[in-house]
Amino acid sequence: MATDNFVDYVKIHCKSGNGGAGSAHFRREKYIPQGGPDGGDGGRGGHIILRGNSQLWTLLHLKFNKHFKAEHGKSGAGGLKTGGQGSDTYIDVPVGTLAKDVETGEVLFEITENGEEKILVPGGRGGLGNTNFKSATNQTPRYAQPGEPLQEDWYILELKILADVGLVGFPNAGKSTLLSVITSAKPEIADYPFTTLRPNLGIVGYRDGRSFIMADIPGIIEGASKGKGLGLRFLRHIERNSMLLFMIPADSDDIHKEYKVLLNELKEYNPEMLLKTRMLVITKSDMLDEELKSEIEKDLPKKIPHLFISSVAEEGLVEMKDQIWKELQK
């Protein structure tokens, strides 16, 4: 996925439809000159509806198309004819999209399944026709109900990536290189921090035609949970990953310390992150011999599985995929 095409935050303006007015009609036929009320109800105004679409991975299609409008309901008519319903307007979004109130930031709902539909802005209800107001003491009501007015406002749509495995690490930990080697994704790679400015997704092929989705999240730095660096904008993408793959390069000054800093940033952002399955991979390990690996292993965290890999030399990648698949099946 081209990084320039990844859009995970948009504001859209939505206007639903007015409800149609009820009819204040009376039955008038040749031999029934004084028939009773027979005004039909007005039709409902159209809704603005969000619909999950698993073929979409980004909100790019909404970046330059931000205004959505539904059709008004039709008025009722004589003969108890109900007015036509206004056509709904559907907005297709990727699975994992949140709808938020633009003023308060409150989450209204989340789209979590393909084909799932939720009303973002309801259309106005149709007004009742005069036949609804007929009674023993008021047999000729000459009034009907107007339709409810439309609703319009700005809303925020925010995407949280749904992936099986999220890559977590400081800038230059080798996340983009790994993704480019084991998937068909083509992230930008360079020897300086923050090469990745947007999340990248790739499908990792596994044995017997099976696969899983891996997400390269832009590098975390100490203080990210408080908005430092790329901060909060990308930490939210990790929330929807089933498993977290912590990546620390073999030439790091203190691997255990880096792991603790990364873990703390996730905890500060959302303590529930610590409940996810974790795995540690030491990248750029082609520069290590067995003796150095043994020395490094002495100081690694004891509670999570670890592997030594090299994306460039393609060392340890098969074992890593086997371990990931095993954990995902749990």
Q: What pLDDT, in 10s, does the model give residues 180-233?
A: 888 765 544 434 344 444 667 778 888 888 888 888 877 565 554 454 444 455
- pLDDT at residue 21 in the model: 97
Amino acid, res. 124: G
CATH number of the domain bearing residue 138: 2.70.210.12
**Is it the case that residue 89 has pLDDT exceeding 60?**
yes
Q: Tell me how far apart the alpha carbons of residues 34 and 91 are, in angstroms, rounded to a whole number.
A: 49
Q: Are residues 102 and 189 located together in one domain of the fold?
A: no
Q: Are residues 189 and 126 located together in one domain of the fold?
A: no
Amino acid, res. 320: M
Six token digits for residue 298: 């002495």
Q: Are residues 218 and 145 located together in one domain of the fold?
A: no
- pLDDT at residue 196 in the model: 43
CATH number of the domain bearing residue 270: 3.40.50.300
Q: Which of 277, 164, 243, 238 is nearest to 8 (CA)?
A: 238
Residue with the two structure tokens 């990727």: 94
Tell me the backbone φ, ψ of residue 154, rounded to 5 degrees: -95, 145
Six token digits for residue 86: 């206004």
Six token digits for residue 133: 């107001």
Between 144 and 252, the more confident residue is 144
- pLDDT at residue 170 in the model: 82
- pLDDT at residue 219 in the model: 58
Given phi > 0 = left and psi -120 to 50 = alpha, else beta, which region is 108? Answer: alpha
Taking CA 55 as the corner, what is the angle to CA 4 and CA 214, rounded to the nearest 5 degrees? 65
Q: Determine the average pLDDT of the residues in 243-259.
A: 90
Distance of CA 1 to the CA centre of its chain: 17
Question: Given 132, 159, 186, which residue is the final one in a domain?
Answer: 159
Q: Are residues 30 and 121 located together in one domain of the fold?
A: yes
125 close to 148: Cβ distance less than 8 angstroms: yes
Helices (H), the chain: 175-182, 232-238, 255-269, 290-298, 317-329
Q: Tell me how far apart the alpha carbons of residues 221 and 266 are, in angstroms, rounded to a whole number.
A: 11
- Average pLDDT of the chain is 85
Q: Are residues 169 and 309 located together in one domain of the fold?
A: yes
Domain that holds residue 277: 165-329
Q: Determine the average pLDDT of the residues in 24-51.
A: 91
Of the pLDDT bands very low, low, confident and very high (cuts 50, 70, 90), residue 5 is low
Of the pLDDT bands very low, low, confident and very high (cuts 50, 70, 90), residue 164 is confident
Of the pLDDT bands very low, low, confident and very high (cuts 50, 70, 90), residue 58 is confident
Residues 257-268, buried b or exposed e (16+ Cβ, 10 A)?
ebbebbbebbee
Q: Tell me how far apart the alpha carbons of residues 84 and 76 are, in angstroms, rounded to a whole number.
A: 8
Tell me the backbone φ, ψ of residue 145, rounded to 5 degrees: -90, 135
- pLDDT at residue 195 in the model: 42
* Contacts of 240 by beta carbon, 8 Å cutoff, 6+ apart: 96, 160, 161, 162, 163
Q: Are residues 151 and 223 located together in one domain of the fold?
A: no
CA-based radius of gyration for the chain: 29
Q: Are residues 7 and 62 located together in one domain of the fold?
A: yes
Question: Which range among 82-91, 108-117, 151-160, 234-243 shows the weakest confidence by mean pLDDT?
Answer: 234-243
Q: Are residues 151 and 171 located together in one domain of the fold?
A: no
**Is it the case that residue 24 has pLDDT exceeding 70?**
yes
Q: Are residues 280 and 140 located together in one domain of the fold?
A: no
**Is it the case that residue 74 has pLDDT exceeding 90?**
yes
| Count of domains forming the chain | 2
Six token digits for residue 35: 């028939």
* 243 sits in which H/E element: strand 243-249
* Contacts of 171 by beta carbon, 8 Å cutoff, 6+ apart: 193, 194, 195, 196, 218, 219, 221
Give helix then strand counts, H and E, for the chain: 5, 14
C-beta atoms surrounding 312 within 10 Å: 13
**Is it the case that residue 240 has pLDDT exceeding 90?**
no
Of the pLDDT bands very low, low, confident and very high (cuts 50, 70, 90), residue 29 is confident
Q: Are residues 121 and 187 located together in one domain of the fold?
A: no
Q: Are residues 112 and 225 located together in one domain of the fold?
A: no
Six token digits for residue 162: 């749904």
Question: Given 130, 159, 188, which residue is the final one in a domain?
Answer: 159
Three-state SS at 209: helix
Question: Given 139, 159, 179, which residue is the final one in a domain?
Answer: 159
Q: Which of 267, 175, 257, 163 is nearest to 224 (CA)?
A: 267
- pLDDT at residue 330 in the model: 81
| Structure confidence by residue, pLDDT tens digits, 271-304 | 888 888 999 999 989 888 888 888 888 888 888 8
Q: Are residues 119 and 232 located together in one domain of the fold?
A: no
What is the secondary structure of 49-60 as a DSSP string?
A: EEEE-TT--SSG
